Chains A and B, each alone.
Chain A
Amino acid sequence: MKKIFIIFISVLFFTITAKAQFSDFVNKSQVHGSFETDGMYYFPDDAMGITDSLINGRNFGFNAFANITYSIGNFSAGFRYEAFLPPMAGFDPRLEGNGFPHLWASYTMEKFSFTVGSFYEQFGNGLTLRSYEEWTLGYDNAINGVKVQYEPVRGLIFKGVYGVQRFFWMKYSNNNRGIVKGADLELNLNDVFTSMQNSKLRLTLGGSAVSKYQSSDMKPVYNLPNNVGNFAGRFNLGVGKFNFSSEYAYKINDPSAINNYIYKPGESFLFTASYSRKGLGIFAMFKRTDNFSYKSDLNEKENALDINFLPPIIEPHTYMLASMYPYSTQPNGELGFQFQIDYKIPKKSKLGGKYGWGIHINYSQVNDIVRDSVNDTTGINQNGTMGYTSQFFKFSDHVFNRDLTIEISKKFSKKFRGILKYIHQDYDIATLQGHPGEPTIHADIFIVDMTYKFTSKKALRWEAQGLFTSEDNGSWAAVLLEYTISPHWFFTVSDQYNFGNEIVSERLHFYTGAFGYTLKATRFAITYGRQREGVVCVGGVCRQVPASSGFYVTISSNF
């Protein structure tokens, strides 16, 4: 009897302890995630040249992902699921498929952390390394491997990465892409040295080194390097209201399909200066890129396997017509600058009136670099040679893109506010969109964007836009009406009309109607209408969007 009692007590004790531990485990555990599904159902549209035979039975596209992250204490782990069944029109067909492209686990201590599996990382501005994911482009160059981070003292951060990049659904094997390894060291002097903690001068120094390994038998015709290194140094200096930052990167011989297998070293340089005080912001940027595509597969020409990232220098636009001619970064060479001023005319001043005005002016220009032949017998950019020589600060006459944006924003009353915008663009469509032989587009764009608030929750916004050009498809007009009932509903109708098209039968209306519902972190929207052919760019990385007509459904959520 005594024995049974002891066993009973023991079992009870362990059960209670285990239950308490389990309860503690559950209470400390956290699960977070995000989810999005986008579906498109395509209709034939004779006017747009979309026939049944072109659709060829593939009258739907489906892109979806979910990220799930579990964490407890210092430990976290997660996975990503994706489905492209099939990918929506305009996405790389190599995305087709479904599965779990990313699995990862991470442990973080006070000064040290490590991650195994898939991860994203950026060194400095990304000139040597940036792995990231951009859903709207179908772009993902995550690294699968090991990442460590060590901060021995506050302000001194070391990062190291080693792995292979994601290449759609292709598993790494047989040298089908390179191995990426890199290290970055950043020193924030104001944090490291106590004497500088309250200084008006803020200085951060950094340096990174990245190398890719891909066996040279990938392309036996050439004498290829197995290892290609890319090195960069950077600083960020703040003095009062001024801030200066710069990064210079140098890459050794990296013959590839992108640069036509030339052996010239590459370089990239960024410099930004800014001044900021209440009501006034001034920003200037200079950028030079020379032979600086850096991919982990030398044969890859499309948007995949980029190890580094070249920040764009042209003002990004989001309005319908203003984004018709977006700039795509030219990794083989570009030389550009940008200047921007933002000024707020104070409210209750003579000029500003009751609510003040906002003025935004941005001018940016990107030219090609100048290339000279290396000798009398070698063609410029001839494969299997040093390619060319180039003077660092010499602008070519070939302008890729020029953009002048002037924006005025004004609040007229408590209920009524608006934005007026003028943009002039010169756009080398032959180079930037791969339309050989087509002349540079000179476009003037006018935008009016007005919002009227009926109540604190109900608002009507309307846009009227005009793009005037005699090149490409000629001039366009666009209107948009958007009615919002916060925080749940929105209803939108819009139309883009290509009234200036020289071919009368192609003067089409690209109309859409949409509505959506948002509940906390979940959003649901349906759009019906036409999508014009074009290009979508995010950060200078672009994908072609074919013309389409149909229903588009999107659901997204975070938890």
Chain B
Amino acid sequence: MKILKTLVILIALTFVFQACDKVEPPYINGIDCEVGTKKVLIEDYTGHGCVNCPGAAVVAHDLQEQCEDRIIIMAVHAGYFASTEAFGPDYTYDFNSEAGTTWNDYYSIVGNPKGMVNRVDGGSGVVTVPDKWDKTLVSELALTADVEVIISNTFNENDSTITTTVSGAFLSEIEGKFNLIVCITENDIVQPQKNNNDEIGDVPDDLDYVHQHVLRMVINDSWGQEIASGQVSIGQKYSRTYTEDFKGQDWVPENCHIVAFIYQDSDKSILQVEEAAVVE
């Protein structure tokens, strides 16, 4: 018995003392942007009343900087922190969108900042805090895309309409129901934002905060439109064209983008995403 007890102590001590990894520089690995062909959509669920949200926007931006061509950001203002009534007279601008609210409710997002990376579960749930985005992002970037997304935009300055055609072909044999969602996002919107990080801007109220990648609307319904279902073969093509009117909106066409993505209806995971400027 004594031997057994001594053994237990020795095993425990061995576990503890051999469990120390000292890391030598460089401390940052970076992201390998050459592997895989899939692009990644970071949906940053945010609100102008959320003091931690500017920090999350920086997290998303820093990730995007590492693989600019393969990472697309969409800032979805929804929920309590996007309220136009709860944060005083400086915070009455309405960033909310019908689709943003629908998705926010569907994913039961409570508290900001939260986000999704291609709407997949990277091990900590589909909706996670910003510090967990990079893990899912790296694993998604390493995948091969099942479908291509090509956006072609024409903006008519005479009547302020955007006509966007989203097309492409499936690149692998795949089964399921696949929907296309086409969104308009806008950069460089100067509106107040609550903030607790003085390295980003004024605290606690950054009245001239520059909002980026703001979801303005989904052109083709919050859950999009079906482009294929059943057994889909390699090379099967799809194409959809939509026209949307900018009149009556305070959106600046030169700052706007079309973000289009295809997702699998069964688990809502995104297969591929693309972004193109409204005014080329």
A160 contacts partner chain B, Cβ-Cβ < 8 Å: yes
For B20, give its contact among A93, A174, A211, A299 (CB under 8 Å): A211
Residue among A150, A211, A218, A255 making CB contact with B27, cutoff 8 Å: A255
Do A253 and B203 form a contact, CB below 8 Å, given A93-B111, A150-B8, A436-B51? Answer: no
With an 8 A cutoff between CB atoms, is A220 at the interface? yes
Q: Residue on A with the closest CB to B63?
A: A221
Q: Does B212 contact A (CB under 8 A)?
A: no
Q: Which chain B residues border A93 with CB–CB below 8 Å?
A: 110-111
Tell yes or no: A389 within 8 A of B by CB. no
Contact, CB under 8 Å: A210 / B16: yes
Is B13 an interface residue when CB atoms closer than 8 A count as contact? yes
Residues of A within 8 A of B202 (CB): 437
- Report yes or no: A160 in contact with B9, Cβ–Cβ below 8 A: yes
Tell whether A219 pairs with B135 under 8 Å between CB atoms, given A225-B21, A227-B20, A301-B129.
yes
Query: Which of A23-31, A175-183, A415-423 sits within the interface?
Result: A175-183
> Is B152 close to A, CB under 8 A?
no
Number of A-B contacts (CB under 8 A): 117
Contact A174/B123 with A299-B131, A301-B131 known, Cβ cut-off 8 Å: yes
Asked if A213 is an interface residue, CB under 8 A from chain B, the answer is: yes
Q: Among A212, A218, A383, A438, which residue has its beta carbon within 8 angstroms of that of B204?
A: A438
Which among B28-36, B246-254, B271-279 touches the partner chain? B28-36
**Is B135 in contact with A223, judged by CB distance below 8 angstroms?**
no
B-contact bits for A434-466, CB 8 A (1 contact / 0 none): 111110000000000000000000000000000
A385 within 8 A of B: yes
**A209 sits at the interface (CB 8 A):** yes
Task: Please report which residues of chain A, range 176-216, place their CB below 8 angstroms from some CB of chain B when the two chains form the complex.
Answer: 176, 181-183, 209-213
List the B side residues contacting A210 at CB < 8 Å: 16
Closest partner residue, chain B, to A109 (CB atom):
B1
Is A228 in the interface zone, CB < 8 Å from B? yes
Q: Is A211 in contact with B19, judged by CB distance below 8 angstroms?
A: yes
Given A150-B8, A183-B12, A218-B135, are A223 and B21 also a contact pair (CB < 8 Å)? no
Which size bracket describes the interface of B in this complex? 35 or more
Chain A residues lying within 8 Å of B37, measured Cβ to Cβ, are none
Q: Given the complex of chains A and B, what is the CA–CA distance between A211 and B26 in angstroms?
A: 23
The tally of residues in A whose CB lies under 8 Å from a CB in B reads: 49
The reply on A412 being an interface residue by CB < 8 A is no
Choose from A162, A217, A385, A436 the contact partner of B15 (Cβ within 8 Å): A162
A383 to B8, CA, bound (A): 40
Q: Does B17 contact A (CB under 8 A)?
A: yes
Cβ B51 vs Cβ A213 within 8 A: no
In the complex, chain A residues whose CB is within 8 Å of the CB of B159? none
**Residues of the A chain whose Cβ atoms lie less than 8 Å from the Cβ of B13:** 183, 209
Given contacts A175-B123, A222-B29, A263-B27, contact A148 B8 (CB under 8 A): yes
Q: A160-B12, A181-B16, A221-B28 are in contact. Are A257 and B111 (CB under 8 A)?
A: no
Q: Does B167 contact A (CB under 8 A)?
A: no
A437 close to B20 (CB less than 8 A): no
Q: Is A359 engaged at the interface, CB distance under 8 Å to the other chain? A: no
- Closest A residue to B132 by CB, please name it: A299
Contacts of A263 on B, CB cut-off 8 Å?
23, 27
Point out the residues of chain B lying under 8 angstroms from A212, CB to CB: 19
Taking CB as reference atom, which chain A residue is nearest B195?
A: A436
Most buried by B among A162, A181, A223: A223
User: Once the chains bind, are A229 and B51 in contact (CB under 8 Å)?
Assistant: no
User: Which residues of A from 401 to 434 have beta carbons under 8 Å from B?
Assistant: 434
19 further interface pairs, Cβ-Cβ under 8 Å (given A150-B9, A152-B5, A181-B19)? A112-B5, A150-B8, A174-B123, A183-B16, A209-B13, A213-B19, A220-B29, A221-B28, A221-B30, A223-B23, A223-B28, A225-B20, A225-B22, A227-B20, A229-B20, A299-B124, A299-B129, A434-B196, A436-B51
- B positions within 8 Å CB-CB of A: 5, 8-9, 12-13, 15-17, 19-23, 26-31, 51, 63, 66, 86, 110-111, 123-124, 129, 131-132, 134-135, 138, 195-198, 202-205
A-to-B contact residues, CB < 8 Å: 54, 93, 112, 148, 150, 152, 158, 160, 162, 174-176, 181-183, 209-213, 217-229, 252-253, 255, 257, 261, 263, 299, 301, 383-385, 434-438
List, sorted by A's number, 13 A–B pairs whose CB atoms are closer than 8 Å: A93-B111, A148-B12, A150-B8, A181-B16, A183-B12, A219-B134, A220-B29, A221-B63, A221-B66, A223-B23, A229-B20, A299-B131, A383-B28
